[in-house]
Amino acid sequence: MTAATEQDDARLVERLRDARAGHDEFSACPVRGVLDQIGDKWSTLIVITLAERPFRFGELRRALADISQRMLTQTLRDLQRDGLVERRVYPTVPPSVDYRLTPLGRSLLGPLGALIRWADENHGAIRAARLDFDAASDQPRTWTARGEIG
């Protein structure tokens, strides 16, 4: 790890500590509330999809084939509530609606892109770690009198 990386990590830890200041529990941390929403599976996929262009509800449902209608509706409402997605209704018969990222939602694309790049670069190492963990978990473990695994 370079000195610059260590400084960046220290600054991030300090910013997170500052964000939690005055909140006795993690559940009251304002950063956690934001990360809980944007960090869930469907929100991330919807934001990535809407980065391409505005989508109608049915198009989004087809683009995210394994999402239920109920989950898509709820996640879009949550993203609207957070100001990340805008719902536009057009005065046609029948009314047509599309969903698009707001400027705030677009501002999430940079950090999300960095996370996606990190996941792409490290998925092999994570898969290997999971296999190692699972293999070790399958082995019976016994403790010696000195507290060591035998």
CB atoms within 10 A of CB 98: 17
Residue 24's pLDDT is 61
**Contact in structure between 97 and 89 (CB atoms under 8 Å):** yes
Residue 78's pLDDT is 95
**Contact in structure between 149 and 141 (CB atoms under 8 Å):** yes
Average pLDDT over residues 80-98: 93
Name the more confident of 8 and 48: 48
- DSSP SS3 for 99: strand
Name the more confident of 124 and 17: 124
Residues 6+ apart with CB under 8 A from 89: 95, 96, 97
| pLDDT of 57 above 90 | yes
Cis amide leading into 94 (omega within 30): yes
| pLDDT of 97 above 90 | yes
Query: Predicted confidence band at 2 (pLDDT cuts at 50, 70, 90)?
Result: confident
The dihedrals phi and psi of 91, each to the nearest 5 degrees, come to: -80, 70
